[in-house]
Amino acid sequence: MDFISNQAPQIEEMLAAIGVPNVEALFESIPAKLRRIPQPDNDDGLSEFEGMRLMESLAAKNTFPHNENYLGAGAYEHHVPALVEAICSKSEFLTAYTPYQAEASQGMLQIIFEFQSAICALTGLDVANASLYDGASACAEALLMALRSQPGRNKVILAESLHPHYRGVVDQYLVSHGTERATIPFTSIDNALDSNTAAVLVQYPNFFGVIEDVSAIVAKARSKGALVVVCANPLVYGLFTSAAELGADIAVGDCQPFGLPMQFGGPYAGYIACRQDLVRQMPGRIVGETKDTQGRRGFVLTMQAREQHIRREKATSNICTNQALAALASLIAILWYGKQGVHDLALANFQRAAYLKKALLSLSGVESLGNKPIFNEFAIRFPVPIEKVIRHFHSRGIEPGLDLGRYYPALRDYLLVAVTETKNRAQLDRYAAIAKELL
């Protein structure tokens, strides 16, 4: 009602027609704690000036970019080449609508085609779609793909080291499907595999920055006929084994590390790629290359899996669009770096994270979470309470990392530290020096 200029007579007429006494009755099915309490008629809210002041006071609480940032856990501070904003800001991209009409959207369709090609090149898999909303929804959609492709199987296994937010989204997606979901330690996944398992979902590197032995899980899943979904930071493919080489059936993740600022958690663009034989289970849309009647190169929406376009019982998803602008930003960054540049960028992230981890472990009483290879970030524990660690670094103008105890109570006092190419050696040495002051 707030968005329609109806007055009391029109509102009363509509309420009488549907048989409810008042507007509030329309929302009785929504829990009271989730409903906005109507304001008194004499409360007209804040003025424009007051509203601006309120927003400024809220923004002042944000420590970025005033502090040096070592937070990661899915949103990373990478350099965004100036070319990205310059191209994305062009009106033909910034205002482009969903490309239904191929004859009117050749430029946008070609961009999506090139984005798909870039994702296939990174993952090594056969087919990628036009993008998804983010890495979390990509995980859920991949599991739905696996369940559709294997009728009769009703179980998925999630590694406990998968991002907790991603696990939450997967649960939200699958709860209405009656799917059995098992979340267990990575090292115990093979014990849970059985003939009812449709897919295993693992992260690479995992939430703690650790490079797991995914190929071992793939072999065990194969023996049970289950598919393997690998959720990966796409930058990792510049240095480590690709999803296809690992033996993954489906690869998903978030494109944020390429060309997208942290942006308070979004909007980002999720990617999903798979083997050719799974393409009919792909959600969303796929852009393909063709020729027109005069033999000229052109682009069309090759496959659209939404019920708007095909019979509802054959639809694979209700996704009706894609993150075209965010995907474009990631594509520009990938093309800007190129094959060698992506490798060099990944190597810089690996080396700088390893450098800081080694420096911290040289301090008395400091421990890391295991000794497996890492990429981009690592978990560390100081011999003092985590609250003291964070306060100490804040006083020096540094966001030291994420308190893992928020998500994993057993890892209380562990800090997840992310290091990207934006940190130079002097900054890393200063971090280690400030950590030494704690001891």
pLDDT over threshold 90, residue 106: no
Model confidence band, residue 277 (pLDDT cutoffs 50, 70, 90): very high
Contacts of 10 (CB under 8 A, 6+ apart): none
Q: What is the share, in percent, of the chain residues with pLDDT greater than 90?
A: 74
Average pLDDT of span 411-423: 96
CB neighbourhood size of 57 (10 A): 9
For residue 266, what pLDDT is reported?
Answer: 87
Contacts of 381 (CB under 8 A, 6+ apart): 366, 367, 368, 369, 413, 414, 415
For residue 46, what pLDDT is reported?
Answer: 86
CA distances to 55, 278, 374, 399 from 282, in Å: 41, 7, 31, 39
For the chain, the domains span: 8-50, 68-75+339-438, 82-333
11-25, 55-69, 364-378: range with lowest mean pLDDT? 55-69
Do residues 271 and 130 touch, judged by C-beta distance below 8 A?
no
Q: Which CATH architecture has domain 68-75+339-438?
A: Alpha-Beta Complex (3.90)
Average pLDDT of span 329-354: 97
Structural tokens at position 343: 């490798």
- DSSP single-letter state for residue 96: P
| 173-187 confidence digits (pLDDT tens) | 998 888 999 999 999
Nearest one of 173, 178, 176 to 201, comparing CA atoms: 173
- Provide φ and ψ at 227, rounded to 5°: -85, 160
Selected residue with higher pLDDT from 103 and 337: 337
For residue 98, what pLDDT is reported?
Answer: 61
- DSSP single-letter state for residue 210: B
Would you list the DSSP string of 259-306?
A: T---GGG----EEEEE-GGGGGG--SEEEEEEE-TTS-EEEEEEEE-S
CA angle, 181 as apex, 164 and 167 as ends, to 5°?
Answer: 15
For residue 413, what pLDDT is reported?
Answer: 94
Q: Which helix (H) or strand (E) holds 122?
A: helix 106-123
Do residues 235 and 346 touch, judged by C-beta distance below 8 A?
yes
Average pLDDT of span 308-337: 82
For residue 195, what pLDDT is reported?
Answer: 95
pLDDT over threshold 90, residue 320: no
pLDDT over threshold 60, residue 2: no
d(CA 211, CA 149): 28
Model confidence band, residue 32 (pLDDT cutoffs 50, 70, 90): confident
β pairing state of 68-69 and 227-232: unpaired
Which CATH code of 2.40.110.10, 3.30.70.1140, 3.20.20.80, 3.40.640.10 fits the domain covering 82-333? 3.40.640.10
Mean pLDDT of the chain: 91
pLDDT over threshold 90, residue 319: no
Structural tokens at position 222: 């194969």
Selected residue with higher pLDDT from 62 and 199: 199
Model confidence band, residue 59 (pLDDT cutoffs 50, 70, 90): confident
Burial 153-180 (b: 16+ CB within 10 A, else e): bebbbbbbbbbbbbbebbeebbeeeebe
Model confidence band, residue 100 (pLDDT cutoffs 50, 70, 90): low
Model confidence band, residue 1 (pLDDT cutoffs 50, 70, 90): very low
